[in-house]
Amino acid sequence: MEETNTKVLEAAKAVLAANDRGSYTVPAGDLYPHQWLWDSCFTAIGLAHLDVDRAKAELTSLIRGQWANGMVPHIIFSDKKRDINQRSQEGWLNPHAPNGLITSGLTQPPLLAEAVVRIGKKLSLPERRSWYRQMYPHILHYHKWLYKDRAKDGLIILLHPYESGLDNSPAWSFELHTKAWPWWLKVLKKLKITAALSLFRRDTRQVPSAQRADNAEGLAAWALIRKLSRKAYDSRAILKSPKLAVADLAFNCIFIRANAHLQTIAKTIGQELPDELLKQMQESEIALEHLWDEQSGQYFSGDALTSHLIMEPTIATLLPLYAGCISAERAQQLVSMLGKRNLFKANWPVPSVPLGSSSFSPIRYWQGPTWVNTNWLIIDGLKRSGFGDEAESLRQKTIDMVAKSGCYEYFNPLNGSPEGANNFSWTAALTIDLIKH
């Protein structure tokens, strides 16, 4: 085992070195040539074990992109390699967008506080305080923005699948199909010409199309971006009559955990968080309960337009373990789902969609494959909820999967085979963290 771990560590370090662009790391050289929000946070968590200054740089370079209103964009574009799809995502029409940098106008799961604290753990107390003092205003501003511009009844509302990080997971596919499917796409589909549109895609030049979102969904996501961009990504204006608005389960779980980290950071540097914010944080924990469906015994994302749950089972149902605010009984219910064959008990766990779900597909992007980042979140949640054995077994299995197949973007949960992009940064970084835990 020692020997395997050493080999995997070396391979993972090489991936991070190859994707290093000086002060930030691209998710995968060819397929994702920019800086992404949650990718950089995951990467910083791994880098903290190798070179703490470089890990800090990963995050300070991420907040270069923070907007004047506090929003942290999901992408900071590198100068090169911007295609049509990327250009339509640029948020510079918004008055809050930074000068001299091109960022997207969307956000992504708020993992910044988690990554800041992980780096903090590697520092002496005086160094940690100074690191926290540097990052605290940015995290505070970001969380306040989420509450100010995006909250409804305690939950954060997302406007586009890309904001969830689990882009085309079944709940989002359902929402796109039912709420934001452009009329012209129906026509193109009828005429059976969506397949020809592959010619315009960059991703399927790198990765087989069976492993990616289908053309029609990609186009619907693009059309929705265009709509948001026409409104200059002004969240409050958009939320007055949104096409689609989702209280995303994964995002909200990560935000609840990030709020707890923000409180730790504030305490360490002797700062008092505003009362209003503390109240909002409490409300978020309570509101998570609104995403629980007693009958199916699962959590779901919520449709903020209809106030109904989107009854499409996905791996997000397990993330309240990571949020850390659910009852012991509820946590036990979630853990039992990990052991059921029609749900999440796969040979190479944890599948992004339950094995028995009609949407399950073992190799298609977020519709079944196992991802190292969601495993990492679940492992962390299991540990903190008192399920040490389950956490340890998933940790070991995740390392074995990467040892067997390499630092790929995702993996087939049935046979562990590698899928998506090779040399993927967060797979490498989080595997380092899992080995050095």
Please, which residue, 165 or 302, has the CB nearer to ligand GLC? 165
Residue type, 187: V
The burial of 84, by beta-carbon neighbours within 10 Å (0-12 exposed, 13-18 middle, 19 or more buried), is given as: exposed
Binding mask 109-148 for ligand GLC (x = CB under 6 A): ----------------------------------------
Residue showing the smallest CB distance to ligand GLC in the complex? 27
Say whether residue 410 binds ligand GLC (CB under 6 A): no
Per CB under 6 A, which of residues 305..344 are in contact with ligand GLC? none
CB 111 within 8 A of CB 254: yes
Distance CA 351, CA 108 (A): 21
Closest separation in Å from C-beta 353 to ligand GLC:
14
Closest separation in Å from C-beta 260 to ligand GLC:
22
Q: How far out from the chain centre does Cα 421 lie? A: 17
Per CB under 6 A, which of residues 10..69 are in contact with ligand GLC? 27, 32, 36, 38-39
- Any idea which residues carry the catalytic annotation? 167, 409
Per CB under 6 A, which of residues 262..291 are in contact with ligand GLC? none
Please, which residue, 147 or 376, has the CB nearer to ligand GLC? 376
Closest separation in Å from C-beta 340 to ligand GLC:
26
Please, which residue, 39 or 90, has the CB nearer to ligand GLC? 39
State the CB neighbour count (10 A cutoff) for residue 307: 11
Q: Is 212 helix (H, G, I), strand (E, B) or coil?
A: coil
Please, which residue, 36 or 132, has the CB nearer to ligand GLC? 36
Residue with tokens 């359902």: 174
Please, which residue, 32 or 67, has the CB nearer to ligand GLC? 32
Binding residues with ligand GLC: total (CB under 6 A): 7
- The Cβ-side half-sphere exposure at 403, using a 13 Å CA radius, reads 17
Residue type, 46: G
**Which stretches does DSSP call E strand in 57-200?**
75-76, 151-152, 155-156
In this structure, the chain runs to a length of 437
Please, which residue, 244 or 281, has the CB nearer to ligand GLC? 244
Q: How far out from the chain centre does Cα 322 lie? A: 13
- Reported as type and span, the H/E element at residue 275 is helix 275-287
State the CB neighbour count (10 A cutoff) for residue 5: 15
Compute the 3-state secondary structure of the chain and give helix, strand, coil in percent, each to the nearest 5: 55, 5, 40
Closest separation in Å from C-beta 282 to ligand GLC:
29
Distance CA 239, CA 224 (A): 14
Closest separation in Å from C-beta 38 to ligand GLC:
6
Per CB under 6 A, which of residues 386..405 are in contact with ligand GLC? none
Rounded to 5 degrees, φ, ψ at 333 are: -60, -40
Closest separation in Å from C-beta 184 to ligand GLC:
24
**Which stretches does DSSP call E strand in 353-424?**
410-411, 418-419
Per CB under 6 A, which of residues 150..169 are in contact with ligand GLC? 165, 167
Distance CA 106, CA 103 (A): 9
Residue with tokens 């300070």: 60
Please, which residue, 58 or 234, has the CB nearer to ligand GLC? 58
Closest separation in Å from C-beta 350 to ligand GLC:
16
Return residues touching ligand GLC (CB under 6 A): 27, 32, 36, 38-39, 165, 167
